[in-house]
Amino acid sequence: MNFKYTEKTKKRAVTIFILALPAVLEMSLNTLVGMADTIMISRFIGKEALAGVGFANQIIFTLIFVFSAFNAGATAMIARSYGEGKKSRLNKIMNENLTLNIIIGILITIFTYFFAEMILNIYEITPEVKNYGTIYLKNIALGQLFMFISFASAAALRGASDTKTPMYITGAANIINIIGNYVLITGFWFFPELGIAGAALSTAFARFISASLYMYIFIKNKGILNLNIISMKITKVILKPLLNLSYAAAVEQFFMQLAFFVNGIFISQLNTTAEASFRILLNIESISFMPAIGIAIAATTIVGKHLGEGKAEESLKGGLTAAFMGTVLGSGIALIYLFFPVFALSIFTNDISVIKYSHPILKIVALNQSFLAFVVIMVGALRGAGDTKGAMYITITRLWIFFVPLSYYLIIIKDFGISGVWIAEIISLIIISIIVLKRFMDMKWAKIKFFE
């Protein structure tokens, strides 16, 4: 194919930018909240608390990302229906997917609250770190249901090409979270000083506000997507294609989160300084990772929409353009890590031992950014095309054939410490970049049908 730069290429890039910008801003806001949480916990409580929260969040994210996989299928189905002009069908998809998320959210809430301490026993961590993790996990569980409602709502809006509303709601919730963190951790003004429990309760309350705002918008009945109790009843006509698309995304997320989970066990065998350093470096990396996720959301939406319109070649070009834009952005952010590593680290912690340990590793993290952005966006484009199986195979291959074995070898066998994590990730991403590009260029996804 010919991908010369033309006026149409420019228009395509502008369209992607307009669609991606709110999603990028939303993901950046999430990143800033994660940064704020890390900074406050690190400075006001200590590195043991930071490590405990990190292990607790690893469990939470594993459960959330695996069991919210229905949203990946729902976004693809809604985007395709939106392109086809089937508004009543996309509204039915949104309502049924919301029902599934509510059921799963209730079950996850019960599980994480009552089995918090037992779950954390899998890690080889100090009693102090485990105690912090248990307190955080039990309190954060109170907001799990609301997070699932928000995920389902945001996925539906993005599929209908509305990336602005999730951005606004996320922004409002995140402001509440940051303020709540400060006042409940420190006991500012008349608020009680709750420490690590305060950080968790603040996040849970922010998730409640987020879910409430989404429900308010859907109940108002002014947009394409409307909350309807009758439409929330699960039917075979929607559930079957949703399951066909989502089970691959669920399997993908299971193996992805399991890989991070296993990697966390490797990290837990290091000292507390290394554990805290790992959490801080993850937060720093997310500065470039979250914008890539935002562009991937745009790629998912635009690829699905063009397929619904019968424009498969435009879907291909849209996905590739999005990947190029994300790679350039990731490379630009990487320069900050290379040239200002101490400054970036000092934002998160004033612990000299953590800064000294993390400083050389952040430069390795920088080398990872362009490859990470490219793969994340390409996989998002495959999901938008309905090729969730392809995305699953690629993710599992990257993590379990390359990343996890290399991480074990470098961290445990060769004693590289946490630098082994990012060396392993760079190698796995370089290899998988070639594979995912070939898969997308083959365009077999253009023949995938969602509905009978």
From CA 70, how far away is CA 240, in angstroms rounded? 11
From CA 241, how far away is CA 244, in angstroms rounded? 5
Place of tokens 């990343």: 403
Least confident range from 5-9, 295-299, 393-397: namely 5-9
What does the pLDDT look like over 404-420, one tens digit per residue? 999 999 998 998 888 89
Contact 202, 184 (CB under 8 A): yes
- pLDDT for residue 72: 78
∠ CA 400-327-156, rounded to 5°: 75
What does the pLDDT look like over 156-184, one tens digit per residue? 998 888 888 988 998 898 889 889 988 99
Crossing angle (nearest 10°) for helices 47-67 and 236-268: 150
Most confident of 4-8, 106-110, 269-273: 106-110
Neighbours of 276 (CB within 10 A): 28
3-state secondary structure the chain: CCCCCCHHHHHHHHHHHHHHHHHHHHHHHHHHHHHHHHHHHHHHCCHHHHHHHHHHHHHHHHHHHHHCCHHHHHHHHHHHHHHHCCHHHHHHHHHHHHHHHHHHHHHHHHHHHHCHHHHHCCCCCCHHHHHHHHHHHHHHHHHHHHHHHHHHHHHHHHHCCCCHHHHHHHHHHHHHHHHHHHHHHHCCCCCCCCCHHHHHHHHHHHHHHHHHHHHHHHHHCCCCCCCCCHHHCCCHHHHHHHHHHHHHHHHHHHHHHHHHHHHHHHHHCCCHHHHHHHHHHHHHHHHHHHHHHHHHHHHHHHHHHHHHCCCHHHHHHHHHHHHHHHHHHHHHHHHHHHHCHHHHHHHHCCCHHHHHHHHHHHHHHHHHHHHHHHHHHHHHHHHHCCCHHHHHHHHHHHHHHHHHHHHHHHHHHCCCCCHHHHHHHHHHHHHHHHHHHHHHHHCHHHHCCCCC
- pLDDT for residue 110: 92
Q: Sign (positive/negative) of CA torsion 224, 247, 151, 228?
A: positive
Percent of the chain at pLDDT > 70 equals 95
Q: Regarding predicted confidence, which is higher, 201 or 448?
A: 201
Give the mean model confidence (pLDDT) for residues 364-368: 88
- pLDDT for residue 4: 60
- pLDDT for residue 3: 52
Whole-number average pLDDT of the chain: 85
Q: Regarding predicted confidence, which is higher, 426 or 329?
A: 426
From CA 283, how far away is CA 280, in angstroms rounded? 5
Cβ contacts of 167 within 8 Å, gap of 6 or more: 22, 23, 25, 26, 29
What does the pLDDT look like over 42-62, one tens digit per residue? 777 877 887 888 788 777 777
Least confident range from 33-42, 148-157, 179-188: namely 33-42
pLDDT at 214 over 60: yes
pLDDT band at 300 (very low <50, low <70, confident <90, very high): confident
Most confident of 1-5, 164-168, 241-245, 264-268: 164-168
pLDDT at 434 over 90: yes
Give the mean model confidence (pLDDT) for residues 388-417: 91
From CA 403, how far away is CA 99, in angstroms rounded? 35
Q: What is the pTM of this model?
A: 0.73
Q: Sign (positive/negative) of CA torsion 360, 55, 297, 18?
A: negative
From CA 143, how far away is CA 177, in angstroms rounded? 12
Give the mean model confidence (pLDDT) for residues 119-144: 87
∠ CA 451-75-12, rounded to 5°: 105
Ordered by start, the domain boundaries in the chain are 11-447
pLDDT band at 30 (very low <50, low <70, confident <90, very high): low
pLDDT at 452 over 70: no
From CA 209, how far away is CA 173, in angstroms rounded? 6
- pLDDT for residue 447: 85
Q: What does the block give as tokens for 23?
A: 């999603």
From CA 39, how far away is CA 46, in angstroms rounded? 10
- pLDDT for residue 57: 79
